[in-house]
């Protein structure tokens, strides 16, 4: 597995963590940090597409 594939796994888990943190923040009553978590999650998704486009010629192996 290349760094590209590992980075994709990393980005996926980071997205899950961002949305998970947002849910945690909403549950504890922190609206600001909840919104920040959602924005971070969306940002990471956009970054994921950006890096896949940048490394489209690099193998997953």
Partner 1 sequence: MEIPYTIENRPDTGIYNAKLGIWLFLASEVMLFGGLFSAYVLLRVGAEPGTWPHGWLDVKLGAINTFVLALSAITTLLAWAACKVRQFGKFKFFHACTILLGVTFLCLHGYEYHDELTHYEVHLTNGKIADGHLLDESKDFDLAQKTGSLTLEGRMVEDSRELVDLRAPAAEAAKIQEITVPASEISQMGNYGPSHNTFTAIYFTITGLHGLHVLGGTLMILYLWGPGSRMWKTDPERFTNRIEVSGLFWHFVDLVWIFLFPVLYLT
Write down the least CB distance from residue 17 to partner 1, Å: 5
Spatial CB neighbours of 3, under 8 Å, sequence gap ≥ 6: none
Round to whole Å and give the CA distance between 26 and 32.
9
Closest CA to 20 of 4, 3, 44: 44
Site string for partner 1, 2-41 (x = CB under 8 A): xxx-xx-xx--xx--x--xx--x---x-------------
Binding interface with partner 1 (CB under 8 A): 1-4, 6-7, 9-10, 13-14, 17, 20-21, 24, 28, 44, 47, 51, 54-55, 58, 61
């Amino acid at each position: 597995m290349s760094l590209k594939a590992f980075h994709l796994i990393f980005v996926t888990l980071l997205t899950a963590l961002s949305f998970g943190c947002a849910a945690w923040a909403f549950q504890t009553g922190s609206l600001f940090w909840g919104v920040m978590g959602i924005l971070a999650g969306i940002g990471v998704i956009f970054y994921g597409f950006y890096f896949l486009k940048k490394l489209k010629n690099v193998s997953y192996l």
